[in-house]
Chains A and B, each alone.
Chain A
Amino acid sequence: MKRLAVFLLACTLPVSRADDWLRLPPPLTVDADDRHIPESREQRVSELYAIVYNSWMRHLSPAERVAAVRDAGALNVNAWDEVPDSSWFTNRIGPRSLSFDEICAGLEGEPPETGAWAALRVEDEGYTPKLRVRDQAGRTYVLKFDPSTPEKNSGAERISTLVLHAAGYNVPHNTIVSFRSSDLVLAEDAYHTDVVGKRRPLTRGDLEAVLKKIKPLSDGTYRGMASMFLPGKGAGKFKYTGTRKGDPNDIIPHERRRELRGLRVIAAWINHADAGEKNTYDAYVTAGARNYLKHYLLDFGSTLGGGDYINGPYRVGHEYIFDGGAMSRSLVTFGLWHRPWEEHGRIVHPEIGYYDSELFEPERWKPNYPNPAFNRMDEADGYWGAKIVTAFSDEVIEKLARAGEYSRSEVTTYLADTMKRRRDAIGRYWLDRVAPLEEVVLTGGRLSFRDIAVERGYAPEEVARGYRLRVDGAKGLLTFTGQSVQLPELNLKAGGPGDRYGRLLLARVWIESKRRSEGWSLPIEVTLGQTRDSDRLQVLGWRHAVR
C-alpha cells in the first residue's frame, strides 16, 4: 500500500524541465572531468552496509523511491547516445571492433619481470592469502592465488580484466604468472599482516606457509595472478550512487552514469555478480600539472564461475543473496516453486565453476546484492551495454578464453562456447527490444543507418528487415525495408538562435525495427536540424529506446 502511494505520488509530479535538455544532449565525445582538484580524504565503504541497505533499508526511503520512479535516463550521454570519454570510461570496443592484440596492448601497465621478486608483505586474509612483491624493474604487484580450484580465479580474473578493459573501463593490469619458491626473496622492510591487521617482520617461514596453501604445478612452479599497483595515490572506493564529496569533477550522480548502469549487461555476460562498491578504486592521479580522481573497477576473480558466495555457486547471477522476490514466491507457493538453478544448475568443469548459458536470461541477471546503478538501468542503457558485448567477435572470445591459460583444452573450449552463447543471448534480447540503429545520416533527403542487429547476426538477413518511420507532427507511419528511407515532407519548426553548440533543432523522426516475434522495437529518435557551419538539414543526433 505504501509502495503504491509513493508510486502514485511520483506519477503526479510534474515532468521536470530536465526532459527538454535530454532531447538534445551535447555533441561531445569527451567529458572533461579531469580538471585539477585538491587531494580528498580516502572514501571507505562497507560491504555489509551495502548488502543491508540495498537489500532492505532503501525500500524505506520515499525520496529514493520517487527518484527511481522518475529517473529520466542516464545523464552522461552525448548527441549520439554514447558515453563520452572521461575519468570513468574510455570508448574502445563498441562503435568499432577491436582485435585481441589491440585489447591487450591497450591495458595500462606491464607484467612483472621474471627473476627474483622481493616479497614486501603477506596479507593473511584467511581464505586466500595475498603477497605483495616488487620486481627487478621496481614495479609493485599483488600476487593472488586460486584458493579452492587451481586456475579458477586466476583464469577468470585475467579474462575479465581484458573484457572490461576492452569494454572501456579502467582496470588494473592483471597477468597470470608462474614462479618458483626460490624466486621470492625477502625484502629488508618486509612485514606480515595477520587477519586483524597486526604487523610483524616477515620471515621465510611466512612465505613458505603461504605457498603451502597453494597446490604447485607439475613442474614445481606456482601459478598466481599478478595485479600491478595502480598509478597515483589511493583515495578509497567509489559508490554506485550519489557523487563524491570533495571531488568537484564528480557532478553526475553515479546512478545516472550510463557506464555504471549499462555495466549490468557486461557484468551479466561475464557473471560478475560481485560488482559492488568494495571492488572499486579511486586513484588520485597526475596528468601534467593536473591531479584528479580516476575511477577503477577491481577484483574479477569471482567472475565467470569463480564466485561461490552464500547459498552455493548456483545462486550466483540468478538471485540476490537476500532476494525479496524469490523469497515471496517461495512463501506464497508454500515452497513448491523450485528455483530453476537449484534443479538444473551444473558445473561442467571445476576450473570454470558455475558458468552456463542454458539458464542464462540476460534481462533477469542479478548481482549478489542490489546495485543502485544497476537498478536504474533502462532499455537505452541495456542496449548500450549489449552493443559493447556483441562487438566481441568469435575470434576475440576464443583468444580471451585462451588468455585464461587453462591446462585442459576442453575447459578453454567450454568457456569460449559459453561466452559466445551468453553474448548471443544478450544480443538477441537487447538488439531486438530496442531499434539497434546507429550512424544515422541524411543525404539528399534520404535517411540511412546501420542496423547492428543485422550486422552482428541477431536479425535474420534472409528476410527483408522491416522498419517503420514516424515523423514529428505527421499522422501515419511509413513502413519500409532496407537500411535507408526517403523522408516524407517534414514540418520544420521555426528557426531560432540555436543552442550553445550552434545547433538548431528543426524536426524529429522515430524509427522502429520489426521484432523477431510480434510487434515493434522501442524506437530510435533522430533529431534533424542545422549547425552554425551549415544551413543544410542534417542529423544532429539520436536517442535509443525512447518511450
Chain B
Amino acid sequence: MLADRAISVAVLSMLLGPISPAQQLAEGGRIRAPEEIRETRPPLLAPLEVLSWPFHRLSIGTERGFIAFERHKIRERVSLWTEELRRHGVEARFGGSGEGAGFGGGGTYTFNAGKSNRLHFLGLETFKDYQEVGIQWVSATPAGSLIAESSYQWRPDENFYGLGHNSVRDKHSMFALRQTWAGLRWEYQVKGRVSWGALYRTAWISALPGGNPHFSSPDAFFSNLSGYGTQTRLRSAGIYFDMNGIRSEYQLGGATHFGASYQRGLGSSSLSYFSYETQLEGRLPISRESSAFVGQANFELTRERHDSSPIPFYMLPHIGGSSTLRGFALDRFYGRNLALLSLEYRYRIHPFVQVIPFFDEGQIFDRTEDLSWLNWHRNYGLGFRFRNGAGATFLRVEYGRSSEGSEIHIVFGDRERPPLLGPFRYGAYKR
C-alpha cells in the first residue's frame, strides 16, 4: 500500500498539490478530525436519537438474536433434522387446523413412505384445543387406490347463529363437536387430471356445549335443536368425480367437482338423507404469470327422505368465513341448501405475496323456489396470501366487508379440500 500511496501522492501533487508530498506525509493527519465529524450531525438529531432509543435497543437485540441464530447454525440444524425425520417418514406440521382453530402444530408419520402400500398417521393440536387424529392405509395399484381411513376430530369452539338465511348475528352461540369416522375409499386417477372415487364410512358425531364460557350454548337460544346434546351414529356412502384442468396459478383453466352421498342413521335413528355437492372453478389470465380472475361457484344440497328425522344442525351446509363468505363471521349461516358464488382477482406483487380483491355472495335456502337473486348475502374485500419458497401458502389474511360489518380472517396453513364433504366438518380449506 505504501508504494501505491507514494504514486498517488506524487501524481496528485505534481499536478495540483499546493502542499508537497513530504509535507503531507509529515502532517500524518486524518482527513477529518473527530470534532469535525461530530459537527456534521444535524443539531436536532440527538433528541431524535433519544426518542428512537427503544427502537435502537430493539434492533440491537434483533441483530444479536439473528447472529446467534446464524452462529449456531439453527437453520442448517433444523433442515438436517427435518431431512432426517423425513427419511424416517416423519413430518412436522405447523399452523392451524383450519380457520378458527387457532395456531398449532403436529406431525405425520408414514410407514413405507413412497411405496404402493403405506400407512399414514396424522396428529394435530392447536392452542385453542382443537384436535385431529387420523390414520390412513393406502394400497395403490394401476387400477386405482384402495384407502382404509379413520379420523377423529375434537372441535371445541364451533359457531352457530341459528338456521336459515335470515338468522340473527346477535344469537351467537358456540358448541363443541366430536366427530369420529372410519371407512373405505376407492379412487381412480386418469393422468392426474381426472379422478373419481367411491367411499363408505361409519361415523359417530356428537354436539356438546362449547368450551368458551363467554358464549352461550345453542340450546340457550334455540330450543329443540335437532342433534344437539346427543350422539348421532350413521353410515354414509358416496361417489365423487373431479376434473382438474388448472395447470398453474395464472393460466387459463378450470376445475369441476361433483359429489353425492347418502346418509342413514344407525340404531334407533331414522335419519336418512342425500347430500349433493358441486364446485366449479374457472381461471382467466389477465397478465402473463402475474394475474388472473378466478371465479368459483359452489352448491350444496340436502334432500331428506320422507321418513327421515330432521338432519342434525351441524351436518347442514353452512357458509361464512375465509373459505366461503369472507365478510361474515365463520359459519354464520346454516341451512338445508347453499349456493355460493365468488369472484377474485388474484395478482402477484412478489413471488411470495399475492393480493386478492374479492367479491362473494351466498345464499342459504330451504327450497329451490326460495333462491332469489335479490336475497343474497354479499361481501367484498381484500386478501393477502403469503407463500414460502416452495409455493405453499403458509398464511392468509383476508379483510371482508358486508352488511354485518367487517371481518378479518387470519388463517395459518392451507389444507386440501377433502374428496367428499358428506356430513362432516373440516373447518376452512384451500380456496
Chain A interface residues toward B at CB < 8 A: 9-10, 13-14, 16-18, 21-22, 25-33, 44-49, 52-53, 57, 60-64, 66-67, 70, 72, 75-78, 80, 82, 84-86, 90-92, 95-96, 106, 126, 195-197, 251-253, 256, 310-311, 322-323, 326-328, 330-331, 334-336, 338, 342, 439, 441, 501, 503, 531, 533-534, 538-540
Contact = CB atoms under 8 A, between A and B. Distances in A.
B44 interface: yes
Given A46-B70, A85-B4, A13 B42 contact: yes
A328 B13 CA distance: 51
B56 interface: yes
Report, as a range, how many residues of chain B touch the other chain: 35 or more
Given A30-B9, A95-B11, A335-B349, A46 B69 contact: yes
A28 B21 CA distance: 9
A286 B77 CA distance: 38
B307 interface: no
B283 to A, nearest CB: 14
B191 interface: no
B169 interface: no
Contact of A334 (B28, B34, B56, B347): B347
B48 A335 contact: no
B82 interface: no
Interface string B64-78: 001101110100110
B9 A29 contact: yes
Given A76-B32, A126-B76, A66 B44 contact: yes
A48 B66 contact: yes
Interface string B19-43: 1010011011111101011011111
Given A28-B24, A76-B32, A91-B8, A46 B286 contact: no
Given A46-B70, A49-B66, A63-B56, 16 more contacts: A16-B43, A27-B24, A29-B9, A30-B25, A44-B71, A48-B70, A49-B63, A53-B62, A197-B73, A310-B351, A310-B389, A322-B350, A334-B291, A335-B286, A335-B291, A336-B291
A539 B16 CA distance: 8
B20 to A, nearest CB: 9
A29 B290 contact: no
A90 B70 CA distance: 33
Contact of A46 (B66, B289, B347): B66
B62 A52 contact: yes
Most chain B beta-carbon neighbours within 10 Å: one of A9, A32, A77, A322 = A32
A16 B40 contact: yes
A149 to B, nearest CB: 21
B15 interface: yes
A114 to B, nearest CB: 28
B30 A31 contact: yes
B375 interface: no
A92 B29 contact: no
Given A61-B52, A196-B80, A338 B290 contact: yes
Nearest to B348: A335
7 contacts: A13-B44, A27-B17, A44-B67, A63-B48, A75-B40, A197-B73, A327-B350
A336 B287 contact: yes
Contacts of B40: 16, 18, 21-22, 72, 75, 256
A84 B52 CA distance: 34
A21 B36 contact: yes
Given A195-B76, A336-B287, A441-B16, A32 B345 contact: no
Given A27-B24, A82-B12, A531 B18 contact: yes
A44 B71 CA distance: 9
B1 interface: yes
A196 B73 contact: yes
Contacts of B24: 27-30
B28 A32 contact: yes
Nearest to A21: B36
B34 A251 contact: yes
Contacts of B79: 195
A90 B8 contact: yes
B214 interface: no
Nearest to B3: A106
A365 B184 CA distance: 59
Given A18-B39, A18-B40, A48-B70, A540 B18 contact: yes
Contacts of B48: 62-63, 66
Interface of B: 1, 4-5, 8-9, 11-13, 15-19, 21, 24-25, 27-32, 34, 36-37, 39-45, 48-49, 51-52, 55-56, 59, 62-63, 66-67, 69-71, 73, 76-77, 79-80, 286-291, 345, 347-351, 353, 355, 357, 389
Max chain B Cβ within 10 angstroms of own Cβ: one of A27, A47, A57, A70: A27
A25 B347 CA distance: 52
A13 B32 CA distance: 23
Contacts of B357: 334
B293 to A, nearest CB: 11
Given A95-B11, A331-B355, A45 B5 contact: no
Contacts of A86: 31
Contacts of A331: 349, 355
B233 to A, nearest CB: 50
Contacts of B77: 196
A18 B39 CA distance: 5
Most A Cβ at <10 Å: residue of B16, B63, B67: B16
Contacts of A28: 24, 27, 29, 31
A342 B287 CA distance: 12
B31 A66 contact: no
A29 B291 contact: no
Contacts of B25: 30
Nearest to A336: B287
A76 B29 CA distance: 12
A46 B79 CA distance: 19
B348 A21 contact: no
A9 B350 CA distance: 33
B247 to A, nearest CB: 19
A16 B31 CA distance: 19
Contacts of A16: 39-43
Contact of B73 (A10, A29, A92, A195): A195
Nearest to A168: B4
Contacts of B34: 251
Contacts of A540: 18
B15 to A, nearest CB: 5
A85 B67 CA distance: 32
A397 B67 CA distance: 39
A196 B40 CA distance: 45
B31 A84 contact: yes
Contact of B290 (A18, A335, A533): A335
A242 B115 CA distance: 57
B288 to A, nearest CB: 7
A7 to B, nearest CB: 13
B45 A63 contact: yes
